[in-house]
Amino acid sequence: MTEGVHGVAGPGYIPGIMGIGGNTFTVGVLGSYGGLNVGDEAILSCVLDCVRHRTPEAKVVVFSRNPEHTRVSHSVSAVVPWQGVSRDRTLAEVRELDLLMLGGGGVLFDQDARLYARVVRTAQDSGVPTFAYAIGVGPLSEPEDRNAAREAVEEMTDVVVRDEESKLVLEDVGVNRPVTVTADPALLLKAQPFTTEMLAREGVVKSGPLVGLSVREPGRAAQNLDEDSYHSLIAEMADFLVNRLDANLLFVPMERDDIRHSHAVMSHMSSPERGRVLNERYSPGQILGLMRHLDMVVGMRLHFLIFATLTGVPLLPLPYAGKVFDFARAVGAPTLTGVARQEVGPLLAEADRLWDERPERSRMLLAQAEELKRRAHETCERYAALARRIASGGGHDAGAERP
């Protein structure tokens, strides 16, 4: 029996699926891929895993921001650039597809939404079915991006988002078509070993509680962050963990620029010698494997919190955006109102409570993780159903229908 995701062949498995003109079924995957973000690379790994298990004979073409990184990091049939590429070249690539998948992950937000929408609309204009694979949406405040997102999503063959916040943003920009909410694809990631020797090479010796922290840069996806304010907030939090728990601290960058912001937080601490910043590059699976060494985490990055949930590490989210607030609520974690200096009192109180309740919190997280993984599987099942329809309905022509 051919295995499906997690080793069991499911009803969506399609043996010998054929594409245009009897050729191999070809799937394009478009997202923020190319080694810029650990979370996005985790998502790509899980999307590819779904495609390979449900349609094992399919050809996969990844549209990447850094094709060389994607070629080295992921075993795929082909990798093509999509940024800074002419429409004619993009058109030539998408015409060879039987299906273009957007995402998963956060892709439709200000300034980037119009870029992704251009590729999606090129496929739609060519009659190629398009599928939003558990995407994240927002913030969308700029008129050009709102219009681009609405037009692209409205014409998709099927649309799945990863959280309620994304569905609300799509409704706000005027999308009227059905939108399904599942969960982030990275919830299906498999852990890889992260040994105590690897930890020691980073200057970390486990001799007591070890708390993981995640910070991020302000930017288009975090427009309301005040750098000095949140650096000071997290520094005070970090000093509290040192003094209250006698903990050592490990800052875990999910993007390279997180390293700079981690050091900036440490510069505000009164006990910076108790902190370390993970400096080497690791795969998403290794970062997931690292979580077993941590006793608690405090974090901003969504996928850092997802990885903690998958391993049952008690977590305190710092909700700089709706997606983090939504995830905190989904796993029953404390839901603070923001990341600003005035939040320090509630933050320290929650950290104190979290530490005292960590066995119970860990059990709760593992239970919630199972439900979230079930929902993440739903996206893969919708891909399989769509691929089956396309294969039986004449390839490009299937794009006119909706599930």
CA–CA separation, 69 and 79 (whole Å): 10
Mean pLDDT computed over 131-157: 97
User: Is 93 within 8 Å of 28 (Cβ atoms)?
Assistant: yes
206-234 per-position pLDDT tens digit: 889 999 999 998 765 555 667 888 899 89
pLDDT at 217: 82
Residues in a beta bridge with 337:
none
User: Is 135 within 8 Å of 161 (Cβ atoms)?
Assistant: yes
**pTM score of the predicted model:** 0.91
Lookup result for tokens 């699976």 = 285
CA–CA separation, 87 and 91 (whole Å): 6
Q: Which two tokens stand for residue 88?
A: 């004619």
CA–CA separation, 107 and 138 (whole Å): 8
pLDDT at 351: 93
Q: Mark 141-165 as b/e (b = at least 16 C-beta within 10 Å).
A: eeeebbbbbbbbbebbbbbbbbbeb
CA–CA separation, 39 and 354 (whole Å): 25
Is the model's pLDDT at 114 over the cut of 70?
Answer: yes
177-204 per-position pLDDT tens digit: 999 999 999 999 999 999 999 999 999 9
- The lowest-confidence range among 40-49, 181-190, 316-325 is 316-325
User: Is 241 within 8 Å of 249 (Cβ atoms)?
Assistant: yes
What is the rounded average pLDDT for all residues in the chain?
A: 90
Give the confidence band of 20 by pLDDT, cuts at 50, 70, 90. Answer: low
